[in-house]
Chain A
Amino acid sequence: MAQIPQTLYDKLWASHVVRDYDDGQSLLYIDRQLLHEVSSPQAFEGMRANGRAVRRPAAQLAVADHAVPTHDRDRPIADPLARKQVALLASNTAEFGLRNIALTDPAQGIVHVIGPELGFTQPGMTLVCGDSHTSTHGAFGALAFGIGSSECEMVLATQTLRQRRAKNLNVRIDGDLGPGVSAKDIILAIVGELGTAGATGFAIEYSGSTVTALSMEARLTLCNMSIEAGARTGLVAPDETTFAYLQGRPLAPKGEMWGSALAYWRSLSSDEGAAFDKVVQIDADALAPQATWGTSPDQSSAVSGATPDPGAATSYAARLRIERALDYMGLAPKTLLRDVAIDRVFIGSCTNGRIEDLRSAAAVLKGRKIASTVAGIVVPGSGAVKRQAEAEGLDAIFKEAGLEWRDAGCSLCVAMNDDRLAPGQRCASTSNRNFEGRQGQGARTHLMSPASAAASAVAGRIADVRDYL
């Protein structure tokens, strides 16, 4: 009898089931865990309180990224709480025998940027982190998802998690992206189409000719924001682009092991005829640069568009939601996005802090100045990205344009350090969440691509990057 065709997700799931329980949950083996300073302290405390040891220290990798300052890194961290939190990660990892990448280490960076850079993330793995943007790593064909601190502790102690299998959602993207349109625009359009809970309970597999043509960095951007549609997991089947990216990375398999791994990785794709519970089609040719106007990542539009009219909403609840978002954002209904003036720009984050992101922003900013009413920062996703950008002279372009060039961290994506907006300030941001207060109490966030953020910085208002190419 022929085998039932399987999706990539089903294969990854099946290859990690330790045991099935009788209520539909399974004990899933976790191959790798990334740890950071915010979600791990309580997990380590639990380990200590119960006298437990870490089952596989070599399967863990820690780095501080959320709370770290992005300037004056040669000095002690000024904020005493942040200093304590970062120090706690160092002492906890030392106590339990785990590798921690220190703030002074050239490899330091955002967990979701350094995992791929170091070759820690590999196809076929299960990978978790106490961070919802762990879906990023699915770009390698790894089953990667965000978890809470209690689950971090469970993985430290047992290398397993009790999970329920997700349903399969195929987002198929075909066609060629136009000039100025990037992976960020694709995912903003997808989240806009699905809604912020549209993929809850699903694992997304992105496929189609557009995805196949994307670089690893663009695929990482795509998978990164799967959680903004509710999906804990986003996947792209590994291919030659994936393997070429991985080969030679510090933690990637070498020599004979590389050959064995590669043979296995080539089997990781959805079978012909595999059944998906839901399929969504996106036409890449028709996509324009996108920007959000509201307080949820699905509240977006093409940059040529306008804020919605709550009166035209299809339900009372939808109307309230739009009214509330517009009120927080300080925007009237039917305002053209290009008429929305900005005060700040942020280029960085686990969504758009990689070298290609910085190149695309720099291409727009080269020879231009940001508007006198705008201030902004460029925060590379890792030390490696920073060095590469400096080698290419991108830092000089940013500085000459009037932006600050910083050190690696999450920065203004989560506003836990001193990179924070004042109440009412409006930011063109390459990050992933435009939630109320996300960039500071009362701050207003418009999500967009790095090239669009750069164009908006120059214009002093939300701009169509295609006018700046």
Chain B
Amino acid sequence: MEKFQRLISRAAPMPNADIDTDIIFPARFLLITEKTGLGRYAFYDWRHSADGGDAPQFVLNEPAYSGAKILVCGDNFGCGSSREQAPWALRDLGVTCLISTSFGEIFRANCFKNGMLPIVLPPAPWAELLRLANEGGELDVDLLGCTISGPDIAPIPFDVEPSRREALLEGWDEIAIALRKDAEAIAAFEDRQRANQPWLYERD
């Protein structure tokens, strides 16, 4: 997994609540079986007008926000379907940090598996960052110090689970770690469970 340590970028404001993963990655593109190159489908129906051209009112089509690597997004961002194509598509656009007051749980978990940092903030600092995003200011997201800085604001602290933070900082492969460090514990669990609930192992 790619590391995430520090990111300095303009942030695109996307304050609508409940932007679901169907909006982030419409289902009709789920027939694609690759996980790379999906950025062109991100927010497809919001990015395009009925005639297929760019929708001028969509924030990521505005020149000021093209290439923004941070989204300041509304409550419950990424709710709905578990499709990991949503974070893959955002990542392919270059977006690796999302700042909201809450996220859909599966979406948030999926971000951490892809070197992306979803930050949950209380409403007041979130609104402050939304204002900066609207003004086109650059944000400095520092995962080492767990702070977000920007022009004219005191650094805003944020929390992230320590193991997830470490995984992002180091670019860990969670599966490799489990196989290396937890193999004995997993095998011991299975031995215990097989003894207590043998019906779960009848077909192995």
In the bound complex, do residue A157 and residue B175 qualify as a contact, i.e. CB atoms below 8 Å apart? yes
User: With a CB–CB cut-off of 8 A, which chain B residues contact A296?
Assistant: 18, 20
Given contacts A132-B80, A150-B84, A230-B76, contact A196 B28 (CB under 8 A): no
Q: List 21 A-B contacts (CB under 8 A).
A: A25-B163, A38-B83, A42-B84, A45-B35, A88-B33, A124-B197, A148-B109, A149-B35, A151-B113, A154-B178, A230-B79, A260-B197, A296-B18, A320-B16, A414-B30, A416-B30, A423-B50, A437-B23, A438-B27, A440-B28, A442-B45
A76 within 8 A of B: no
CA–CA, A187 to B20, complex, Å? 19
- Residue among B22, B87, B196 facing the most chain A CB atoms (10 A cut-off): B22
CA–CA, A197 to B18, complex, Å? 8
In the bound complex, do residue B82 and residue A147 qualify as a contact, i.e. CB atoms below 8 Å apart? yes
CA–CA, A441 to B41, complex, Å? 13
A23 within 8 A of B: yes
B182 within 8 A of A: yes
Q: Closest approach, in angstroms, between the C-beta of B163 and any C-beta of chain A? A: 5
Interface string of A319-345 (1 = CB under 8 A from B): 011001000000000000000000000
Instruction: Say which one of A2-10, A79-87, A101-109, A378-386 lies at the interface with B.
Output: A79-87
- Residue among A41, A59, A162, A414 facing the most chain B CB atoms (10 A cut-off): A162
User: With a CB–CB cut-off of 8 A, which chain B residues contact A42?
Assistant: 33-35, 84
CA–CA, A79 to B27, complex, Å? 15
**Which residue in chain B gives the minimum CB-CB distance to A125?**
B200
In the bound complex, do residue B79 and residue A415 qualify as a contact, i.e. CB atoms below 8 Å apart? no
Which of A122, A149, A158 has a CB less than 8 Å from the CB of B178?
A158
User: With a CB–CB cut-off of 8 A, which chain B residues contact A399?
Assistant: none
Interface string of A413-448 (1 = CB under 8 A from B): 011100010010000000001011110111000000
B121-157, CB < 8 A from A: none
**Apart from A27-B186, A81-B31, A162-B178: 15 A-B pairs, beta carbons within 8 A:** A18-B189, A39-B83, A41-B33, A125-B200, A131-B81, A132-B80, A157-B179, A162-B174, A196-B79, A197-B18, A264-B197, A433-B22, A436-B23, A437-B26, A440-B28
A28-52, CB < 8 A from B: 29, 31, 38-39, 41-42, 45-46, 50, 52
CA–CA, A225 to B15, complex, Å? 25
Q: Closest approach, in angstroms, between the C-beta of B77 and any C-beta of chain A? A: 10
Q: Closest approach, in angstroms, between the C-beta of B36 and any C-beta of chain A? A: 10
A208 within 8 A of B: no
Which of B27, B28, B30, B185 has a CB less than 8 Å from the CB of A18?
B185
Which of B17, B23, B193 has a CB less than 8 Å from the CB of A435?
B23
Which of B32, B84, B109 has a CB less than 8 Å from the CB of A39?
B84
**Which residue in chain B gives the minimum CB-CB distance to A202?**
B105
In the bound complex, do residue A232 and residue B105 qualify as a contact, i.e. CB atoms below 8 Å apart? yes
CA–CA, A230 to B107, complex, Å? 11
Q: Closest approach, in angstroms, between the C-beta of A356 and any C-beta of chain B? A: 25
Number of A interface residues at 8 Å Cβ cutoff, please give it.
81
Which of A124, A125, A321 has a CB less than 8 Å from the CB of B16?
A321
Given contacts A260-B199, A433-B22, A437-B22, contact A197 B79 (CB under 8 A): yes
Given contacts A158-B178, A435-B23, contact A79 B82 (CB under 8 A): no
A391 within 8 A of B: no
Q: Closest approach, in angstroms, between the C-beta of A433 and any C-beta of chain B? A: 6
B53 within 8 A of A: no
In the bound complex, do residue B81 and residue A132 qualify as a contact, i.e. CB atoms below 8 Å apart? yes
B102 within 8 A of A: yes
- Residue among B16, B18, B23, B198 facing the most chain A CB atoms (10 A cut-off): B18
User: With a CB–CB cut-off of 8 A, which chain B residues contact A201?
Assistant: 105
In the bound complex, do residue B182 and residue A18 qualify as a contact, i.e. CB atoms below 8 Å apart? yes
A93 within 8 A of B: no
Which of B20, B81, B105 has a CB less than 8 Å from the CB of A200?
B105
In the bound complex, do residue A200 and residue B28 qualify as a contact, i.e. CB atoms below 8 Å apart? no
A387 within 8 A of B: no
- Residue among B30, B79, B174 facing the most chain A CB atoms (10 A cut-off): B79
Q: Closest approach, in angstroms, between the C-beta of B134 and any C-beta of chain A? A: 15
In the bound complex, do residue A232 and residue B106 qualify as a contact, i.e. CB atoms below 8 Å apart? yes
In the bound complex, do residue B104 and residue A200 qualify as a contact, i.e. CB atoms below 8 Å apart? yes
A273 within 8 A of B: no
B165-183, CB < 8 A from A: 174-176, 178-179, 182
Q: Closest approach, in angstroms, between the C-beta of B4 and any C-beta of chain A? A: 15
**Which residue in chain B gives the minimum CB-CB distance to A23?**
B162
Interface string of A164-181 (1 = CB under 8 A from B): 100000000000000000
- Residue among A125, A150, A317, A321 facing the most chain B CB atoms (10 A cut-off): A150
In the bound complex, do residue A27 and residue B185 qualify as a contact, i.e. CB atoms below 8 Å apart? yes
In the bound complex, do residue A25 and residue B161 qualify as a contact, i.e. CB atoms below 8 Å apart? yes
